[in-house]
Amino acid sequence: MQKRDVPYLVLGFLITAVACRSSPENDLSTLEQEWLETSTPINAANGQAAATDAPAPADEPPLPSPPLAAGDWLTLGSPRAGLSLVVPADWVNLSDQGSAPAMGNRLGIELILAADSERTGRSLLVGKAFTDGAYISGLTVAAPAGVADPAAALVELLATAAPSAVRLTTVAPLQSANGVEGLAVDVADGPVGLTISDANELRTRVVLFMPPAAREAAQTWIILLLSATTERWDQYTDLFDHVLQSVEVYDVASGETAQAGHVVVRGELTGERDEVRAHLERGVHDVWTFSSMGNRYVSLRLRPDEPHLDLTLTLLGPDRQTVARIENGYEGMMESTADLWLPQSGVYIVEISDFAQAAGRYSLALQLSGQPAHSEGGTLAFGQALQTQLPANAQHNWVFSAAARQHVSIVVEPETQTFDAILELYDPDGTQLLVLDEGFSGDPELISGYELPVAGEYAIVVRSFSPQGGPYTVSLDEGDRPIENFYDAGDLVYGNVRQESLQRQEAQAWFIQGKAGDHVLIRVAPLDGNLDLTLWLLDDRVERIAAVDEFTAGEPETIELTLSADGQYIALVRDFN
């Protein structure tokens, strides 16, 4: 892209890229075969193992596990999580291992997850089968509206989240340790509600607790899954009974949140339109849910209320696969998506996090519609990055208001390599000021630091060079922001040491071809004591995966990590000042 004539200060730096293959001790290939082994499949007609596949009987029946003393139990959960229970002290607590466990189950949001061994736990987290083990999961579930028969509702929840499950017992009543009514049923299936390759034959006790809703709060149910491989079920029944005797279930009052580990369950977005505000705590992920009937369009807007927040919005579908991940802006910028199609019916999860795990307030707005609400465009605000889809043979018009002589920067970034975007800017009278089609398919188009001639409403037009259209992100910002120019510095291969000059208000992009498992070290060192460098690493979707700015002017910055996938990575260098 062409760079505008701006005053600049030439500053020098060195950038180095080094890589090596991952070390043998980190190679999990030796575990792969054992994780992929499967036990005898269940015959769905009668819930029994097929006779031809049944394992040979053991010479001796398995010995029951010895009873555990009081000190051998570990308490998980809390009143804030909505439930608490005990598990053996030597079990592995997976509840606080990031946000991944919370998002994986189709039944609901997982607040407690514990396994009998590290191997079982790791298998669950990475979607692998396991042949010998047990785990316990506690989830919060939004109660269906107008439920007359909780037992029928439990069966319906299981039919939706685990359609292959076979009921082995009738639905029976029970109570928690603190007197909350519940229901229990045993089923045969792979891990209930999880997507597991080559799922094993497991038996699971599914327990539903129905705490009364607090005033003005939507009713929330608690579901427990106590699961073990079928061959070892008898060895775990006493243990599971003891766990159930310890369970206490709490109602989460209106305005409060359920939290366990790194996840805070904020609540539900309701209706066709809703807007909520919350305070993101340091180092945690906020979770909101909403329901869709299927074949609907959703628009989401995430606005930081504090300038230091660099927020990310992730949308997960009812199958708990990622529908969209929106992280296009910098600190203080609003992240949004328009007219995202939701083909599935069910409960969707909106996950909010901060890139630097910082704390601060934000607002989240939801709009659901049967038809695209922004089929021709809409309004764009300064400090907003909007992700959307351009239909075939169409154009989008995004309007914004500005003052005379105000400087603006506009970026249109295609989300696929097949979309060749054209960017146009029109003044309040409809006169074309700029038209940009400088890149190839997949390349961004940039207007940087452009001075607007008059006050009024301007229009950004986005269209495609070909009739196909495609997904893209458009962002609008003030022209006096630190980054006004992007410079293609060239390719960087492993072992290179390159020297370059950085202009004022410029970011330089270095392109690196990497493979999954490459251990990469990238170091940028200033050659001028006044240069305070920041270093980012972006993946081939131009999503930031690492960023460093640890030292003051004159000091080098380093990123060291292992690449997770094959592709082209971008090292982005800029000056903090």
pLDDT at residue 296, as a whole number: 93
Checking if the pLDDT of 548 tops 90, the result is no
Could you tell me if 176 and 120 lie in one domain? yes
User: What is the pLDDT confidence band of residue 484, given thresholds at 50, 70 and 90?
Assistant: very low
> 226, 251, 276: which is the final residue of a domain?
251
Full domain range(s) for residue 127: 83-251
Q: Please report, for the domain that includes residue 557, its CATH number.
A: 2.60.120
Task: Name the burial class of residue 206, with classes exposed (0-12), middle (13-18) and buried (19+) by CB atoms within 10 angstroms of its CB.
Answer: buried
Both 108 and 130 in one domain: the answer is: yes
- More confident of the two residues 442 and 422: 422
DSSP reduced 3-state for 72: helix
Q: How high is the pLDDT of residue 52?
A: 35
Cα–Cα distance measured from residue 282 to residue 273, given in angstroms and rounded to the nearest whole number:
28
In a domain, 33, yes or no: no
Per-residue pLDDT at 5 exceeds 50 = no
Q: Are residues 388 and 528 in the same domain?
A: no
Determine the pLDDT at residue 53.
Answer: 40
Backbone angles phi, psi at 150, to 5 degrees: -60, -35
Least confident of 188-197, 426-435, 504-513, 564-573: 188-197
Three-class SS state of 230: helix
CA–CA separation, 106 vs 483, rounded Å?
42
Are 92 and 236 part of one and the same domain? yes
Output the pLDDT for position 432. 95
Residues 326 and 305 both lie in one domain: yes
pLDDT at 360 over 80: yes
pLDDT mean over 369-385: 90
Provide the number of structural domains found in the chain: 4
C-alpha to C-alpha distance for 339 and 321, rounded to whole angstroms? 19
How far is the C-alpha of 360 from the C-alpha of 476, rounded, in Å?
Answer: 23
Of 122-131, 239-248, 413-422, 524-533, least confident by mean pLDDT is 122-131
Contact 387, 374 (CB under 8 A): no
Q: Please check whether residue 177 is in contact with residue 246, taking contact to mean a CB–CB distance below 8 angstroms.
A: yes
Clarify whether residues 410 and 289 are in a common domain. no
pLDDT on residue 80: 75
Which pLDDT score is estimated for 44? 31
State whether 511 and 565 are in the same domain. Answer: yes
pTM: 0.61
Last residue of one domain, picked from the residues 431, 466, 481? 481
**Residue 38 located in a structural domain:** no
Residues 161 and 135 placed together within one structural domain of the fold: yes
Burial environment of residue 432 by CB neighbours within 10 A (0 to 12, 13 to 18, 19 or more):
exposed
Instruction: Count the residues in the chain.
Output: 577
Per-residue pLDDT at 14: 61
561 backbone dihedrals φ, ψ, rounded to 5°: -160, 175
| pLDDT on residue 478 | 82
> What mean pLDDT comes out for the span 332-345?
91
pLDDT-derived band at 77 (thresholds 50, 70, 90) equals: confident
Per the DSSP assignment, residues forming a β-bridge with 131 are none
Q: Which amino acid is located at 432 in the chain?
A: Q
The pLDDT score that the predictor gives to residue 111 is 81
| pLDDT tens per residue across span 141-167 | 877 777 778 888 888 888 888 888 899
pLDDT at position 283:
82
Quickly tell me which residue has 């940028």 as its tokens. Answer: 524
Q: Which residue has the tokens 């097929």?
A: 50
In angstroms, the CA 123 to CA 129 distance is: 6
Q: Are strands 263-268 and 285-292 parallel, antiparallel or unpaired?
A: parallel
Does residue 37 lie in a domain region? no
Task: Tell me which DSSP letter residue 56 carries.
Answer: P
| Spatial CB neighbours of 162, under 8 Å, sequence gap ≥ 6 | 106, 107, 187, 189, 192, 193
Please give the share of the chain, as a percent, with pLDDT higher than 70: 79
SS3 267: strand
pLDDT at 399 over 90: yes
Q: Is residue 283 located within the same domain as residue 334?
A: yes
Identify the pLDDT of residue 1: 35
At 299, the pLDDT band (50, 70, 90 cuts) reads very high
Residues 183 and 280 in one domain: no
CB atoms within 10 A of CB 132: 16
Please, which pLDDT band fits residue 134 given cuts at 50, 70 and 90?
very high
Say whether both 404 and 512 belong to one domain: no
Q: Among 3-12, 374-383, 454-463, whose mean pLDDT is lowest?
A: 3-12
Q: Which CATH number belongs to the domain containing residue 406 in this structure?
A: 2.60.120.380
* Domain end position, chosen among 228, 251, 274: 251
Both 321 and 342 in one domain: the answer is yes
Ranges 29-33, 241-245, 544-548: which has the least confidence: 29-33
d(CA 96, CA 396) in angstroms, rounded, equals: 43
